[in-house]
Amino acid sequence: MSEIKEITLNGVSYNLGNVIPAENVSETTISDDLNLLDETWEDGKRIDPYTGQESTQYPQYTLTDYYALSDGGTVTALSTVNNTTFTVCCYDSAKAWLGNVDSGYMTKNVEKVVSPKTSTAYIRVYTLINTKSKFTYIKMPFSYTLRDWTDTASNRMNQLAVRADIYSKIAALEALFFNYKKWEGKYIVADGNSLVAASNWIATTCSFLGAHAVNVGKSGGAITTPNQPSSSATIAEKQAYIRNNIANNYPAKADLILLQESSYLDGEYSDQMDGPNPSDSWCARMNYFIRCLKTKYPNVLIALMPDPTWYTVGNGAAGNDSTTNTSIGDFIFNSRNANSLIKMRGLAEYNRLAFFDVDHSTPFNPLQKTNYYAQYYWLHEDYPSIGQDGVHPYKPYNTAKGYALAHFMAGLIFNPNAPNDAVDNWQDLVYTINSDGSCNYPNIGTPET
């Protein structure tokens, strides 16, 4: 029977001390893609294209270690911007330099394939430090041997089962955490009235998720009002106002847009600002607003949200932050609160968008004074000096809502690698809804096959 005294895992050799029978060690060859961006790079180095020597004369470059390349393998890369380049340095099985292969200037979002030189067994890659972050991936085929312990009748080890159980739990946790980590570095936009602008719960959400918060809420205003740009404006002028608002106030990138509203909620869900029966109702304006957002950001997710519950204004120390016998006019079942919820939910369904009723789906929205959260749901950030205004929650509520919203967002499905850039000249590409539900699309080109 052959014996194993030393094994190598991840490039590190381990002396096993006591002899391990070969029958107790299983070996599996794994073939996969290795994304070099996830590996270690050394800044300030590159491989000289004339001598093959490792050079430190170019501090603007960064260089990888050696990686074994599968026979006939290629290196593929994707960049988010134009004119990025990288260089593949080729070596034989003895790590003797064979030469460099330059990628040439790349086109954003178009995969570049580089074929290493004949007889290449190992590669190293270098690129500019300030453009490395512009790549989505630089990957190569990669094979490795996975060794593990297996039990036999005469030699058994319980640790394998323990480790397998741990790996299973870690895999489950990683799958769960991905729903939150997928928002890292993404751009999340929130629009609405002062309950978006001043409450600024989106800042808490994005801080928790590691995302970029873009708050375009309008204190004293709304997403869209009937007098923009004026009460006498034509439908065409109101369309232009909406387009200009999105063009000038929305960011260059957007992965998720949250629209929270409670004002001017008139019209039918199917109302449109164009087509055979143009309208300038709130539903028509919002439908056009949503179409513009989809045109500017083709891969964006959009979720609609109602305002949190509005109360009647209290007097002095009156309000739901008190356990005293003061009165609150809670209009949750009628008036503004019900209309906001019903209209925003209906419009989301009509446009096939997500609908988040965050405030009424968490315990933070108070409906009874005896509720723990109700006692701390202060309706103004400067309370008690100003007093309850019936509208604006106090900071603890805004923070709680920000965290709650993050959990809602974790359930949205999207590919984090999808482009989030605004489309050039998008204002000329907004599609039209016809009376039969079909659409007219401007000429936006034919997808490549």
Q: What is the pLDDT of residue 298?
A: 94
User: How do residues 72-85 score in pLDDT, each as one tens digit?
Assistant: 899 999 999 999 99
Give the span between the Cα atoms of 174 and 202, in whole angstroms: 25
Q: Cβ distance 303 to 354 under 8 Å?
A: yes
CA distances (Å), origin 222, targets 196, 197, 217, 318, 351 = 10, 10, 8, 28, 20
Highest mean pLDDT among 108-122, 323-337, 424-438: 108-122
Q: What is the pLDDT of residue 324?
A: 40
Which two three-digit tokens encode residue 244?
């200009």
Cβ-based neighbour number of residue 116 at 10 Å = 23
Q: 290 CB contacts (<8 Å, ≥6 apart)?
A: 259, 302, 351, 353
Which two three-digit tokens encode residue 322?
């008190």
User: How do residues 322-381 score in pLDDT, each as one tens digit?
Assistant: 334 344 444 444 567 788 899 999 999 999 999 999 987 766 555 455 555 555 455 544
Q: What is the pLDDT of residue 162?
A: 74
Higher local confidence (pLDDT), 447 or 49? 49
Q: What is the pLDDT of residue 337?
A: 76
pLDDT band (50, 70, 90) for residue 12:
low
Res. 234: pLDDT tops 70: yes
What is the average pLDDT value for the chain, to the nearest integer?
Answer: 84
With 0.75 as the threshold, say if the pTM is over it: no
User: How do residues 149-170 score in pLDDT, each as one tens digit?
Assistant: 787 888 777 776 677 788 888 8
Higher local confidence (pLDDT), 210 or 315? 210
Which two three-digit tokens encode residue 422?
């605004």
Q: What is the pLDDT of residue 449?
A: 45
pLDDT band (50, 70, 90) for residue 20:
low
Helix (H, G, I), strand (E, B) or coil at 339: helix
**What average pLDDT score do residues 22-27 get?**
81
Cβ-based neighbour number of residue 448 at 10 Å = 5
Higher local confidence (pLDDT), 1 or 157? 157
Res. 129: pLDDT tops 60: yes
User: What HEC string does 140-190 produce?
Assistant: EEEEEEEEEECCCCCCCCCHHHHHHHHHHHHHHHHHHHHHHHCCCCCEEEE
Where is average pLDDT lowest: 122-136, 196-210, 281-295, 429-443? 429-443
Res. 216: pLDDT tops 50: yes
Helix boundaries (H) for 6-49: none
Strand 256-261 relative to strand 301-306, pairing = parallel
Strand 87-91 relative to strand 97-102, pairing = antiparallel
Give the span between the Cα atoms of 261 and 308, in whole angstroms: 10
Res. 243: pLDDT tops 60: yes
pLDDT band (50, 70, 90) for residue 210:
very high
User: How do residues 405-418 score in pLDDT, each as one tens digit?
Assistant: 999 999 999 999 99
What φ, ψ does residue 430 adopt, rounded to 5°?
Answer: -65, 125
In DSSP notation, 61-121 reads EEEE--EE--TT--EEEEESSTT---EEEEE-TT--EEEEEE--PPPTTS-EEEPPPTT--
Cβ-based neighbour number of residue 177 at 10 Å = 11
Q: What is the pLDDT of residue 331?
A: 43
CATH architecture assignment, domain 3-157? Sandwich (2.60)
Res. 66: pLDDT tops 80: yes
In DSSP notation, 242-284 reads HHHHHHHHS-SB-SEEEEEE-S---S-TT-BSSSSSB--SHHH
Q: Cβ distance 269 to 353 under 8 Å?
A: no
Q: What is the pLDDT of residue 394?
A: 65
Give the span between the Cα atoms of 414 and 427, in whole angstroms: 25
Q: What is the pLDDT of residue 242?
A: 97
CA distances (Å), origin 202, targets 245, 256, 300 = 20, 12, 17
Where is average pLDDT lowest: 98-102, 158-162, 206-210, 434-438? 158-162
Of all residues in the chain, what percent carry a pLDDT higher than 70? 81
Res. 254: pLDDT tops 60: yes
> For the domain 187-440, what is the CATH superfamily, name and number?
SGNH hydrolase (3.40.50.1110)
Establish whether domains 3-157 and 187-440 are of one fold. no
Where is average pLDDT lowest: 10-19, 29-38, 44-53, 287-296? 10-19
Higher local confidence (pLDDT), 264 or 310? 264
Helix (H, G, I), strand (E, B) or coil at 403: helix
What are the residue ranges spanned by the domains of the chain? 3-157, 187-440
Q: What is the pLDDT of residue 380?
A: 46
Please report where in the chains the tokens 């539900």 appear, as a residue.
Answer: 437
In angstroms, the first-to-last Cα distance of the chain is 57
